[in-house]
Chains A and B, each alone.
Chain A
Amino acid sequence: MKYSGYHGRFGGAFIPEILVPTFDELEAAYLEAKADPAFWQEYEQLMSTYSCRATPITYAENLTKYFGGAQIYIKREDLNHTGAHKANNVMGQGLLTKRMGKKRVIAETGAGQHGVATATMAAKFGFDCTIYMGAVDVARQRPNVFWMEQMGATVVAVEDGSATLKDAINEAFRDWVTNMDDTHYVLGTACGPYPFPDMVSWLQSIIGKEAREQMLERTGQLPSRCYACVGGGSNAMGLFGGFFEDESVQLVGVEAGGHGRGIGQHAVRLAYDDATVGVAQGYKTYFLQNTDGQMQETHSVSAGLDYVGVSPILAALHESKRVRFEAATDAEVVEAMQLTVRKEGLIPALETSHGFAQAFKEAPEMSKDEIILINQSGRADKDIFTVADAIDDPKWKEFIIRKAEEYKRA
């Protein structure tokens, strides 16, 4: 490859020898597309006709009044086709797949949003598609599995390891080392070996580019703080990408605090001290691991943030202090989501709601002249089962029991 892909001391490409030529090819295709204005034009055109770009900015008037501090604005990535920012990366990589002349795509998925987005792209572009998903996640995200299969994708439930996102990534790599000649691996977040972190961040930067312009147009000023949830880190990299040059804008990444501090209880790599620097899944970053370097169990109410590593670019931005990292617990997140639904009629996904939870902690202490911008990275339709459980809704339970009985009789 032309570049080593390091950001500070993080990143790199720790790849099996068999993939070296594949990564050479991918880097070349990525650099060529990045240098070619026609690629970005085609990408924007595709996203404005097939998805819902530019996604709007919504002023959350009721939440603003409720907290009585900073004015709260929300970037509406949930209005993308398939309901999350994942569509940006996937459609961009779909265009690259076409450029490289490959006929099959594979992907890992945690919450299922990236899997659905990839299956959608594959259906549109006519690619064969296999999605790897941890068995634990298959069990908790059935609606997304249903749609992937309807779109013609093969969904493989991965039983190995902790049966979550990291295991799905390992399994996708195992497929790729076999089928690289006709297959592109559509990695879903700003992690993995170079060029994935850079390429995914570049494709997602469409969020921040739009948001910056929209904020200036709407409010005549830049936000004081931007908030985004951080699993792998692609929606955060996307939003923050519009504001790196603006030193007055604080960038806040919010990780999954789960049940709180202590390894195994959460998926916080940067905001807590539980993670250490290591190398796994092809890249160097902070991982939740033990002293031997074995990856540890993670926990989050949101499948999409339940991951041992974090974007190497965000790890570097953490060390340089350009981005501040915080954590929100499961309980705080469910509460923030319910409040947003009630006050604004918006339905942020559980992943997304981490960003909201942290913004709600800080907004009341800020002045009314200040503006904050939250990235609503996805919507919560997929979370209906998890949320119904979390708030213990009796009518929902009744419905499910009745439905199950109907199926039993049939």
Chain B
Amino acid sequence: MLKSYIRARRQQKDLLLMTHIVLGYPNFDDSLRVVEQMVEAGVDLMELQIPFSEPMADGPVILHANAEAIKAGATVDKSLEIAEQITRRFDIPFLFMTYFNILYARGVDKFVDEMKSIGIQGAIVPDLPPEEGEEYLAAMKRNALSPIHIYTPNTPDARMRQLSDQSDGFIYTVARKGVTGKDTQFSDELGDYLARCRASTDLPLALGFGVKSKADMDFIRGHADIAVVGSETIRVMEREGVEAVKGFIQTLVA
């Protein structure tokens, strides 16, 4: 179970790190190599994003990666295939992040059953609020997988509690309004918001959107259980190549 893994891991470390990649960007071989680098550098869990042509909640970096992956021939079949190789080879939990149409086009039940059979432990589907997610939530429950929902600074307390009831594993809290990959001010205000998140759920909290440095990690420590680094590792890979990813992650967890 994802939640118990996170709890156990937190006994050893005061802040866990979740990273993210877009499967098939720039190609599937490199995806595998980046995962290897990340795991070796000490990442605790990972999001594998299945590319979608309309990634409404993503900013320019991940948007571009989605489009390029599709252009390079990343299909859902191939994404599931590579995900299975990844979960076999590496001994940390992996989650899917993707948009609802990817599940819907394949059949929600079929997709979730496949997730289970290839060893994926949970999913983040940012355009699927629980109100629209009945079939998905039932399938996740049947397979004992973790549906992860999102808290935002705009989310009222009552809704946070509703979302928590529909979630398992952890809650993904976004640090600010907007899309992925833009700068975030890590401030007292953010601390207050995280305290509000904490009060509304018993699940561990992950904090993402704009996390990209050791200083950011230091701020998050004590406020949340998991820091999420997404766009920044893609930037590092684009700028300095696949091999640079490990060193970058090591600077974060040092």
Contacts and interface: CB of A to CB of B under 8 A. Distances in A.
Given A4-B131, A170-B54, A177-B179, A278 B105 contact: yes
B127 A295 contact: no
A20 interface: yes
A203 interface: no
B67 A13 contact: no
For the residues of B in contact with A, the DSSP-based class is: loop
Nearest to B133: A14
Interface in A12-29: 12-18, 20-22
A161 B53 contact: yes
A287 B54 CA distance: 12
Nearest to B155: A17
A280 B55 CA distance: 9
B61 to A, nearest CB: 12
Contacts of B199: none
B159 interface: yes
Contacts of B52: 293-294
Contact of B131 (A13, A174, A293): A13
Nearest to B177: A178
A287 B128 CA distance: 18
B56 A16 contact: yes
A174 B182 CA distance: 12
B174 to A, nearest CB: 7
Q: How large, as a class, is the contact surface on chain B? A: 35 or more
Interface string B143-163: 000000111101110010001
B59 A279 contact: no
A13 B132 CA distance: 8
B75 interface: yes
A202 interface: no
Interface string A33-73: 00000000000000000000000000000000000000000
B63 interface: yes
Given A279-B127, A292-B105, A294-B70, A14 B100 contact: yes
29 contacts: A13-B129, A14-B128, A14-B129, A14-B132, A15-B127, A16-B56, A17-B151, A17-B152, A160-B64, A161-B67, A170-B56, A177-B177, A178-B177, A178-B178, A179-B177, A180-B177, A278-B105, A279-B104, A280-B54, A281-B56, A282-B127, A292-B75, A292-B106, A293-B76, A293-B104, A293-B106, A294-B53, A294-B70, A295-B53
Interface of A: 4, 12-18, 20-22, 160-161, 166, 170, 173-174, 177-180, 276, 278-282, 287, 289, 291-295
Given A12-B132, A177-B179, A178-B179, 9 more contacts: A4-B131, A13-B129, A14-B129, A14-B132, A16-B150, A17-B163, A18-B150, A160-B64, A161-B67
